[in-house]
């Protein structure tokens, strides 16, 4: 190994895993050591992600057990987990248990939903099954990176893409006491948010040139957003969340509306958002409404707002696979490992996608 810190990606065949590999391959302090997949062991990683072939060489997927063995051998490593929820917790627990028994202590960032709730009961209530490794939950913090100044746990869980977009807009309003604690969210996501395997209602040809809501007021991210907003602000807010499937591949556009606690106009809210996110390089507050194309494939989030004295609406756009998943995970790993928070993540959006 070089002086770079070796990275192990778990759950390595999905879109988020591909983005993790892409970001790690371009990172100045990280080195892609293994991509684990029990569904394609021994197969070429470049076969799953041909756009990454020039940088991947002959790297092959390894079984999850081999990834755990590698973590046990390495004195220092970073684990980015992109396995599905309900699976990730047990994989991480097995890897950490094996590494700890060998005297190694990998640093983990989980991008699944398994460590987003601090309480196993809350997780079970939302997901309908018990947690895969409840004893590990106290070892994980969960927050948008911009909303947690100090991490007191060895590992981190990154919120989901809908949650990230919504929290970036909602948390400043609650933390600054600008709104009454009832928030209405309408958010549109691209087809990559549904994962790699096409299904009814998620397959892109069905979504193309169409727009429709699903699981309105009953989506699993609603309770996650409420819990994480309260953890970040101390305010218990009622979150009414309605997600939509959009006719594009990447990106999320979230509109957050609430009643103002005191009369404010558009310029006042935009100024408050700018002050709240001052010094946070990945969040940009604009005067004009934000556009998805201006952030797609980047780790940047763009926000803007309008207010009429009584009601406020904050618009938030992110790339669901980067800021909402892989990029946010690498941003957290940078902090946990002592790199600059922006390391490997400053490439701007290409624009005309």
Catalytic residues: 161
- Report how far residue 252's alpha carbon sits from residue 162's, in angstroms, rounded to the nearest whole number: 7
CB of 350 closer than 8 Å to CB of 336: no
- Report how far residue 164's alpha carbon sits from residue 151's, in angstroms, rounded to the nearest whole number: 18
- Report how far residue 19's alpha carbon sits from residue 31's, in angstroms, rounded to the nearest whole number: 14
Q: Which residues contact 224 (CB under 8 A, 6 or more apart)?
A: 113, 116, 117, 126, 159, 160, 163
Please count the other Cβ atoms lying within 10 Å of the Cβ belonging to residue 219: 19
CB of 252 closer than 8 Å to CB of 193: yes
> Of 115, 126, 123, 9, which Cα lies nearest the Cα of 62?
9
> Of 321, 300, 293, 318, which Cα lies nearest the Cα of 20?
321
Please count the other Cβ atoms lying within 10 Å of the Cβ belonging to residue 295: 26
Q: b/e for 71-97, b at 16 or more Cβ within 10 A?
A: bbebeebbbbbbbebbbbbbbbbbbbe
Element (H, E) at 101: helix 88-101
């Amino acid at each position: 190994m070089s002086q770079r810190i070796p990275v192990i990606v778990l759950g390595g065949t999905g879109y988020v895993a591909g983005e993790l590999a892409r970001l790690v391959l371009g990172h100045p302090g990280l080195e892609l050591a293994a991509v684990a997949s029990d569904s394609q062991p021994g197969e070429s990683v470049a076969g799953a992600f041909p756009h990454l072939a020039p940088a991947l060489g002959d790297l092959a997927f390894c079984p999850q057990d081999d990834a755990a063995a590698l973590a046990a051998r390495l004195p220092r490593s970073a684990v980015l987990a992109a396995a599905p929820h309900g699976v990730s917790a047990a994989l991480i627990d097995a890897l950490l248990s094996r590494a700890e028994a060998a005297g190694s202590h990998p640093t983990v960032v989980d991008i699944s939903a398994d460590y987003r709730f601090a309480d196993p009961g809350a997780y079970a209530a939302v997901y309908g099954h018990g947690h895969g490794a409840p004893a590990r939950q106290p070892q994980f913090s969960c927050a948008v990176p911009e909303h947690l100044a100090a991490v007191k746990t060895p590992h981190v869980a990154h919120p989901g893409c809908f949650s990230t977009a919504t929290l970036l807009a909602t948390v400043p309003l609650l933390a600054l006491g600008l709104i009454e604690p009832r928030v209405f969210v309408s958010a549109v996501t691209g087809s990559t948010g549904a994962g790699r395997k096409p299904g009814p209602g998620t397959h892109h040809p069905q979504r193309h040139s169409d727009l429709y809501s699903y699981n309105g007021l009953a989506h699993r991210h609603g309770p996650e957003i409420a819990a994480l907003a309260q953890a970040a602000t101390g305010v218990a807010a009622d979150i009414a969340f309605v997600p939509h499937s959009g006719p594009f591949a990447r990106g999320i556009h979230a509109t957050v509306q609430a009643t103002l606690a005191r009369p404010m106009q558009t310029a006042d809210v935009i100024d408050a958002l700018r002050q709240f996110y001052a010094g946070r390089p990945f969040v940009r507050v604009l005067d004009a409404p934000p556009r998805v194309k201006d952030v797609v494939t980047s780790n940047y989030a763009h926000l803007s707002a309008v207010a009429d004295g009584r009601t406020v609406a904050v618009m938030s756009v992110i790339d669901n696979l980067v800021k909402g998943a892989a990029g946010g995970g690498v941003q957290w790993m940078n902090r946990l490992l002592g790199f600059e928070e922006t390391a490997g993540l400053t490439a701007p959006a290409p624009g005309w996608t």
